[in-house]
Chain A
Amino acid sequence: EAGVTQFPSHSVIEKGQTVTLRCDPISGHDNLYWYRRVMGKEIKFLLHFVKESKQDESGMPNNRFLAERTGGTYSTLKVQPAELEDSGVYFCASRGAGYEQYFGPGTRLTVT
């Protein structure tokens, strides 16, 4: 069974540009989460999808961040326009019926 995949693995963009991150969850997992880790600190929740619906987006920093989940399958997280403080590692996780969330390898975003 394939795990959670994320693309790209690394993105370097200039302040003011747009970046779109993609996550493909484990097949059959209805729950999809986005998290972010900044500067080696704790991993922080951004938002949670159940199928194609946003269940909880309380962790989204501001309206420069837009997440979508097309047809309840893969998800994208767009940052527009990017700011320096958006740099960090963005993790996607998916969950089936249990409590355990399974994480992807992350996308390292560097905004210069």
Chain B
Amino acid sequence: DQQVKQNSPSLSVQEGRISILNCDYTNSMFDYFLWYKKYPAEGPTFLISISSIKDKNEDGRFTVFLNKSAKHLSLHIVPSQPGDSAVYFCAAYFQGAQKLVFGQGTRLTINP
């Protein structure tokens, strides 16, 4: 039972444009969400997070939006840079639990 879903396995964006990565979840008990970025042969690196009491969090070029009624979150990267090419994972915490539930990941490729 996949509780966190990233339905796009890959995404290709031109350098300088906006990248939008999407994530859907099914469990309303999730109360905190995180995005991780992963390069080949490395571990996931924390990027940005959002609490379920907020609908937006911004950090430099990265913004995460949360739509609780739709059980959907998205990561916006503006402007996209070649170094952003990586696999991006959406992850969620259950209320009271401390383990992360991950999506399958989306491979983002930024084209020059």
**Which residues of A does B touch, CB under 8 Å?**
4, 6, 31, 33, 35, 41-45, 48, 55-56, 59, 91, 93, 95, 99-106
Closest to A47 in B: B99
Interface residues on B, range: 20 to 34
* Sample (17) of A-B pairs whose CB atoms are under 8 Å apart: A6-B43, A31-B98, A35-B102, A41-B104, A42-B2, A42-B89, A42-B105, A43-B89, A43-B102, A45-B99, A56-B98, A59-B99, A93-B43, A101-B34, A103-B36, A103-B43, A103-B45
- By a CB distance below 8 angstroms, the chain B residues around A48 are 98-99
Task: Check B98–A42 contact: CB distance below 8 A.
Answer: no
The answer, yes or no, to whether B100 is at the interface (CB within 8 Å) is yes
| Residues of A with C-beta under 8 A to B43 | 4, 6, 91, 93, 103-106
For B65, list chain A residues within 8 Å (CB).
Answer: none
Contacts of A55 in B (CB 8 A): 98
What are the nearest 6 A-B pairs in CB distance? A103-B43, A45-B99, A43-B102, A42-B104, A42-B102, A103-B44
- Would you give the 0/1 interface string for B1-22, flagging 1 where the beta carbon is closer than 8 Å to chain A? 0101000000000000000000
Chain A residues within 8 Å of B32, by CB: 99
B46 and A45 contacting across the interface, CB-CB below 8 Å: no
Closest CB in chain A relative to B70 CB, distance in Å = 21
CB distance from A49 to the nearest CB of B (A): 11
